[in-house]
Amino acid sequence: MGLPVIPPEGSRSASLLDLVTSHVQRRNPKGRAAVVHRLDRDTSGIMVFARDGRAKKALMDNWDALVFERGYVALAEGVPDGDEGVFEDFLLENQAGQVYVASPQARGSLRALTRWKLLSSSSSGGKGSGGAQPFCLFSLSLETGRKHQIRVQLSSRGYPVAGDARYGARSDPLGRLCLHAAILGLEHPFTGERFSFESPAPDEFYALASPRRRPNPR
């Protein structure tokens, strides 16, 4: 299990924020890292931190404009028809924080667009999964950044992310939400320079989807 981005309230357990702050303080003893965006709980992958208040404000105020690419890899239940396509929906959040697909005319609904590609799939769950549940591996590129976007769009089509009981998953093969932030393209808020970051998804994702090789998530 990975580190939480920030420690739970009242906890002294290690967090990613603590580690990044320690790194920042090697050069600036008074410095402190700051979280500028979020990943869903148990999602692994790329995170960006600011190393001072000026950078934090610039990144948080302009995040959607600065990010030019967002790619995820998801291990999901079931196997879709086709190898690639586009998910387009309108999403709405209820008072309990649950997000669902709504009518485009629904008040407050937000358009969600995700391009997807099937990387691999299995006819059964594979070793350690009970053998009955087929899994597939999606590469997903976000055109919009809505809350729980990937999780809701996959679940609404019958392919919930493995381990995501909140949105209908029946399996929990790895004891976590099987979603990984694999690609992030970000423009520097001050210089305009563009950076592309990549983080390979866990080997266990690929093993459960039974690939013969690791496909390129692009």
Q: Which residue has the tokens 């381990």?
A: 163
Q: In angstroms, rounded to a whole number, what is the distance separating the alpha carbons of residues 172 and 75?
A: 11
The token pair at 131 is 């053998």
Q: In angstroms, rounded to a whole number, what is the distance separating the alpha carbons of residues 51 and 28?
A: 10
* Nearest Cα residue to 195 out of 206, 184, 204, 210: 184
Q: Which residue has the tokens 């493995």?
A: 162
Residues marked as catalytic: 40
Find the angle CA(124)-CA(127)-CA(131) to the nearest 5 degrees. 35
The token pair at 68 is 């030019």
User: What is the CB neighbour count within 10 angstroms for residue 139?
Assistant: 21
| DSSP one-letter code for 166 | G
Per DSSP, the residues of 93-124 read E-TTS-EEEE-TTSTT-EEEEEEEEEEEE-SS
